[in-house]
């Protein structure tokens, strides 16, 4: 069975688990956002303690994609500060790995993974995105689907797999004036859409997503309408096929303050009763 529909949960309510010495990131605190029980692919938030280090040269035996939320992670001489992105394929060489002052990192592993300390392995250079710092305003583009409702829309493409069509991108949306915009069309994607909310808020029929919100939405599920009173910055991934959107011809009324009515797998069902209103970032 593939990952179940999860829409949505605030990452703040999930428990931190300290990874064991046998893990690829020993001693790091981890929150599991979602996991595929068949492939072992997993989406997590990792909190590296100050002084974390893997001192020996190694490679990871599966693809790793990550976005630094705060702090700094170092792989060899390459520094990944806050709002820095990378996609490092299976076999990519790592002289060492450190987090001198700690770091919180949104991370995606494409399956079971471990550090390999002996030898080298050829890696797929077509997959490699070694480093993108997203703070550079020149890297953002205005080419957002015109049917997306929102002011000041900008997108930054982080990764596009030419073989599978899978992609990772950021979306900025300015505040929506509810006196001007009252409705929006519904949309459906044939692929998985995965989101982690980096900042701001989004109003949906399932409730109001705030910083740290996460969903995994399988293909074929109609959703919306959405809007953002405060504006937002979103981290998106399109999985299991190339990106496309089917829009309805009709628009439906946006509910700006819908109560929390999530779709959650059974393992998270206990969180459905209470909407998170705390101040933790993740």
Distance of CA 122 to the CA centre of its chain: 27
3-state secondary structure 45-89: EEEECCCEEECCCEEECCCEEEEEEEECEEECCEEECCCEEEEEC
Q: What is the pLDDT of residue 137?
A: 73
When pLDDT is cut at 50, 70 and 90, the band that residue 1 belongs to is: low
User: What's the whole-number average pLDDT of the chain?
Assistant: 95
For residues 233 and 197, give the distance between their C-alpha atoms in angstroms, rounded to a whole number.
6
Report d(CA 171, CA 126) in Å as an integer: 24
For the segment 207-232, the average pLDDT, to the nearest whole number, is 97
Residue 136 has a pLDDT of 73
pLDDT reported for residue 147? 82
Percent of the chain past pLDDT 70, that is, above it, reads: 100
Instruction: Work out the pLDDT band at 274, boundaries 50, 70, 90.
Output: confident
Answer yes or no: pTM beyond 0.75: yes
Q: Residue 128 — φ and ψ, nearest 5°?
A: -70, 125
For domain 6-133, say whether CATH 3.40.50.1460 is its number. Answer: no
pLDDT of 131-141, one tens digit each? 999 977 777 88
Average pLDDT over residues 144-156: 86
Class of domain 138-269: mainly beta
User: Which pLDDT value is given to residue 145?
Assistant: 86
Q: What is the pLDDT of residues 220-269, one digit of tens each?
A: 999 999 999 999 999 999 999 999 999 999 999 999 999 999 999 999 99
Q: Where does the chain hold its CATH 2.60.120.10 domain(s)?
A: 6-133, 138-269
pLDDT of the residue at 201: 97
């Amino acid at each position: 069975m593939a990952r179940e529909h999860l829409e949505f949960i605030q990452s703040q309510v999930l428990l931190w688990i300290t990874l064991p010495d046998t893990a690829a990131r020993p001693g790091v605190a981890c929150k599991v956002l979602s996991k595929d029980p068949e492939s072992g692919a997993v989406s997590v938030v990792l909190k590296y303690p100050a002084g974390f280090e893997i001192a020996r040269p190694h490679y990871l035996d599966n693809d790793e994609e990550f976005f630094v939320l705060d702090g700094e992670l170092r792989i060899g001489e390459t520094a990944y500060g806050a709002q820095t992105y990378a996609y490092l394929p299976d076999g990519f060489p790592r002289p060492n790995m450190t987090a001198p002052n700690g770091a919180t990192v949104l991370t995606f592993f494409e399956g079971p993974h471990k550090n390999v300390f002996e030898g080298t392995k050829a890696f797929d250079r077509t997959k490699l995105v070694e480093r993108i710092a997203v703070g550079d305003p020149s890297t953002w583009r205005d080419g957002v689907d015109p049917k997306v409702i929102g002011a000041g829309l900008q997108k930054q493409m982080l990764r596009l797999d030419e073989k599978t069509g899978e992609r990772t991108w950021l979306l900025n949306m300015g505040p929506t004036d509810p006196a001007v915009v009252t409705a929006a069309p519904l949309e459906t994607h044939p692929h998985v859409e995965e989101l982690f909310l980096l900042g701001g808020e989004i109003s949906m029929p399932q409730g109001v997503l705030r910083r740290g919100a996460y969903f995994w939405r399988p293909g074929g599920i109609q959703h919306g309408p959405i809007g953002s009173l405060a504006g937002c910055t979103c981290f998106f991934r399109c999985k299991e096929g190339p990106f496309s959107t089917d829009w309805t011809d009709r628009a439906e009324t946006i509910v700006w303050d819908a109560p929390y009515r999530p779709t959650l797998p059974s393992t998270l069902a206990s969180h459905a009763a209470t909407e998170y209103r705390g101040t933790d970032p993740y």
